[in-house]
Amino acid sequence: MIAEILSVGTELLMGQIANTDAQYISRRLSELGVSLYRHTTVGDNPGRVKEALREALARADVVITTGGLGPTEDDLTKEMVAEVFGLEMALDEVSLHAIEAFMERVGHPMAENNRKQAWFPAGATVMPNACGTAPGCIVERGDKAVAVLPGPPHEMKDMFERRLAPWLARRGGAHIESRFLRIFGIGESAVENRLRDLFHADNPTLALYCGPGEVQARVTARAADAESARAMIAPVAEEIRRRLGNHVYGEGMDNSIERAVFERLRDRGETVSFAESCTGGLVAARLVSVPGASAVLGEAHVTYCDAAKARVLGVREETLRRFTAVSAPCAREMAEGARRVSGADWAAATTGYAGPDGGADGTPAGTVFIAVAGPDGATVEQCRFNGSREFVRAVAASWALNALRLRMEALS
Amino acid sequence: MIAEILSVGTELLMGQIANTDAQYISRRLSELGVSLYRHTTVGDNPGRVKEALREALARADVVITTGGLGPTEDDLTKEMVAEVFGLEMALDEVSLHAIEAFMERVGHPMAENNRKQAWFPAGATVMPNACGTAPGCIVERGDKAVAVLPGPPHEMKDMFERRLAPWLARRGGAHIESRFLRIFGIGESAVENRLRDLFHADNPTLALYCGPGEVQARVTARAADAESARAMIAPVAEEIRRRLGNHVYGEGMDNSIERAVFERLRDRGETVSFAESCTGGLVAARLVSVPGASAVLGEAHVTYCDAAKARVLGVREETLRRFTAVSAPCAREMAEGARRVSGADWAAATTGYAGPDGGADGTPAGTVFIAVAGPDGATVEQCRFNGSREFVRAVAASWALNALRLRMEALS
């Protein structure tokens, strides 16, 4: 089954609101196994609504509209559906009574233009509105159908879940499942190269999404039921894990590298501290963003100047003099110092040039040393990130968290 | 001039993200006086991108696309624009050198799929990308044009403002100037109430944008030349400043409360330190995001557990026992301690319940105490923020920076 979404509302074309209705319906259609190839948005204009409806019906089996169901003159979605299908408008007595009851409940007099909301294309299946006055409807004509939903998101969602989703599932008879693999420490192009042949499959499909320093792989299968879809995904997900090794740090749309670190620390019953220079508190802030972080983090230190590195963390004056603060020895002493002063099991440290300037000695901006100190000693990596100051700091913070994860995994 | 927006991206049809790009562009087109009658979204599918492009070009003078400019095989917006216009793809040497330089800087071999980002429809005007690797372009053919923008919102906005908005204004035969006033510590509806009558003007127009805890007022004028436009804006901007007083902390699209704090500290030749509990490093990270931050920040401390508050900052055991760590006395001692141990002129401290849980004593989540210690003593505010853990922490960090700004301004 192929669907399209047609959003009606001048407020969308004015940019007054984002089209979150389209996002919600899209996500639910994908979960329901309904193919969706296009969204269209038009204003409250009869000619353009009709034109967009005709075009969408030429391509899709089901057109889902949102908006244009209000009591005012420029709300005309149902009327345009009737015109396109060559149907008269008919009064639905049940809806009229429901609207009267609703207005009485909220203590407003029933206005004449509210009666308009009880009229539908003849033969339509009315979808009552549990959260407002505008009922929706499903209008079928041959093998095509238009489902008309209200625009306000809470009314739309309620009607979608109670009325339209069951109707779509009955009509469709397929099920969609997806798995999201979270990948760190390898670029999007490199991931694509390693997985190239897997992109050619039709079902399950593989897609990559790119965040700062991080890649997500989505594997989606369509089958008669959820269990079969999951069984189709499993070998593809396993193959991705095999090819990418420990670059895959977890699964799930809402996962993150800080959550992965938090869970590993919590499961091990261990704690961590941070010593941050160029990231300036970002690593700690990322871990603290996970609810319950106090179980694994007691303290962290931003030591931005040399004096603070020496006084707070015990970095030796000689190290700073001989190698400068942006050096592997300094990063190592920062991590060791943070672990010592906090008494934590682990500590990670960052020191580098976030930019726009590099070091006076010619070290380029984007150079960051990342150290991890743990029960089995300390390690340091020299990284080179390219991008804005903001990007370098964000990726350096993620990289420090990932380095910590890899050290914990290596030890277990 | 009539425009249409064509958004390209399977992630939009999967409902993984809302189409905020379309909202932003819609709003800006309306401000620029460009008519917009339709948004269309299609996936990363060559046939459907081409079909949607042809249809949009039949209706509109300018089609603005977003997305599909990445390095991977399914990024194909530019290629489809070339096909629709009957143009070859041509290599842009300047863009290629920029990408090559980038790859060399990060020490990766030049991959074939990265070269792809330097190819454009022949004759296109390239729009460099200041925030990412994918340049955009404007392709003109007869009286029709397609403007190709990247999908990531920050890259899209930057390119729209720097490149496309001026091009659209020139094409529309007018000059557009805008001023952005940055407002903190007063809600959007309160700002709206104070400025209500100013919204009725046609030219200059006034619009509000809302960020976490912060409001931006944009005043935009259209005139024959830049100087006239600026002269039209000036009295409106002055009136806004008069009505909002010290809630206006600065001007400029790229301004921020951390930049305002940095500039005031730098101009005074003073330094600051932070003691953070619930914000977990976010306040320091925000200040460090400003290039040159080392001139005003030497160190900061994340003291998440009580023991660290006592040991690192010298918060008295009695204070913690009697008032708990989420209290005005604790916040004050944290700020005073951070100022003392760092030797900085100023220090700000945060302690609170970011959520999802509040205090065991019934203190609700979102309660945050914010203290500022300076040459003239210490002050504490009790705040109550409503929202997710992420929102509470972000707004608390901004609030701490703003409290510091107000204290500095009061002293001068």
Instruction: Check if the beta carbon of residue A12 is closer than 8 Å to that of residue A155.
Output: no
Q: Is the CB of B105 less than 8 angstroms away from the CB of A342?
A: no
pLDDT at A220: 83
Domains present along chain B, CATH in parentheses: 2-172 (3.40.980.10), 178-251 (3.30.70.2860), 257-411 (3.90.950.20)
CB < 8 Å to A210, chain B: 70
DSSP letter string, B328-378: HHHHHHHHHHHHHHHT-SEEEEEEE--SSS--TTSPPTTEEEEEEEETTEE
| Closest listed residue to residue A52, CA positions, set B287, B123, B4 | B4
Query: Does the model's pTM come out above 0.95?
Result: no
H helices of A269-316, in order, are: 282-288, 306-313
ipTM metric: 0.73
Residue in A closest to B110 by C-alpha:
A189
Q: How near does any CA of chain A get to the CA of B400, in Å? A: 15
Q: Which of A188, A304, A342, A367 to mutate to test the interface with B (most CBs of B within 10 A)?
A: A304
pLDDT at A202: 79
pLDDT at A232: 96
CA A91, CA A73: separation in Å to the nearest integer?
17
Angle at B128 between CA B122 and CA B134, to 5 degrees: 80
Whether the pLDDT of residue B341 is over 90: the answer is yes
* Burial class of residue B410, CB neighbours in 10 A (0-12, 13-18, 19+): exposed
Question: Using 50, 70 and 90 to split pLDDT, how confident is the model at B213?
Answer: confident
pLDDT mean over B217-240: 92
Mode of pairing for the β-strands spanning B2-8 and B35-42: parallel
Mode of pairing for the β-strands spanning A214-223 and A175-184: antiparallel
Whether the pLDDT of residue A107 is over 70: the answer is no
CB count within 10 Å of CB A210 equals: 17
Read off the tokens for A87.
Answer: 């149907």
Q: Which of B39, B103, B108, B368 to mutate to test the interface with A (most CBs of A within 10 A)?
A: B39
Instruction: Report pLDDT digits (tens) over B382-402.
Output: 999 887 898 899 999 999 999
Query: Residue B297 contacts by C-beta under 8 Å, 6 or more apart in sequence?
Result: A280, A302, A304, A305, B271, B272, B273, B284, B287, B288, B344
Beta-carbon contacts below 8 Å between A and B: 251
Q: Which of A4, A6, A7, A13 to mutate to test the interface with B (most CBs of B within 10 A)?
A: A13
Can you state the angle between helices A328-342 and A306-313, rounded to 10 degrees?
Answer: 40
Q: Is the CB of B293 less than 8 angstroms away from the CB of A280?
A: yes
Instruction: Check if the beta carbon of residue A384 is closer than 8 Å to that of residue B102.
Output: no
Instruction: Report pLDDT digits (tens) over A220-246.
Output: 888 888 899 899 999 999 999 999 999
Q: How near does any CA of chain B get to the CA of A79, in Å? A: 20
CA B182, CA B177: separation in Å to the nearest integer?
17
Instruction: Check if the beta carbon of residue A301 is closer than 8 Å to that of residue B299.
Output: yes
Of B73, B291, B299, the CB nearest to A302: B299
CA B5, CA B25: separation in Å to the nearest integer?
8
Of B15, B285, B355, the CB nearest to A30: B15
Question: Using 50, 70 and 90 to split pLDDT, how confident is the model at B33?
Answer: confident
pLDDT mean over A286-298: 97
Q: Is the CB of A285 less than 8 angstroms away from the CB of B393?
A: yes
User: What does the longest C-alpha to C-alpha distance in chain B come to?
Assistant: 78
Amino acid symbol at A400: A
pLDDT at A150: 95
The per-type count for chain A, helices as H runs and strands as E runs, is 16, 17
Of A14, A302, A356, the CB nearest to B300: A302
* Burial class of residue B245, CB neighbours in 10 A (0-12, 13-18, 19+): exposed
| Closest listed residue to residue A409, CA positions, set A275, A299, A249 | A249
CA B4, CA B22: separation in Å to the nearest integer?
10
Q: Which letter does DSSP use for residue A81 in this model? A: H
Amino acid symbol at A168: L
Q: Is the CB of B24 less than 8 angstroms away from the CB of A15?
A: yes
Q: Is the CB of B289 less than 8 angstroms away from the CB of A389?
A: yes
CA B412, CA B409: separation in Å to the nearest integer?
5
CA contacts within 13 A on the Cβ side of B339: 21
Instruction: Check if the beta carbon of residue B396 is closer than 8 Å to that of residue B280.
Output: no
Residue in B closest to A33 by C-alpha:
B14
pLDDT mean over A136-163: 93
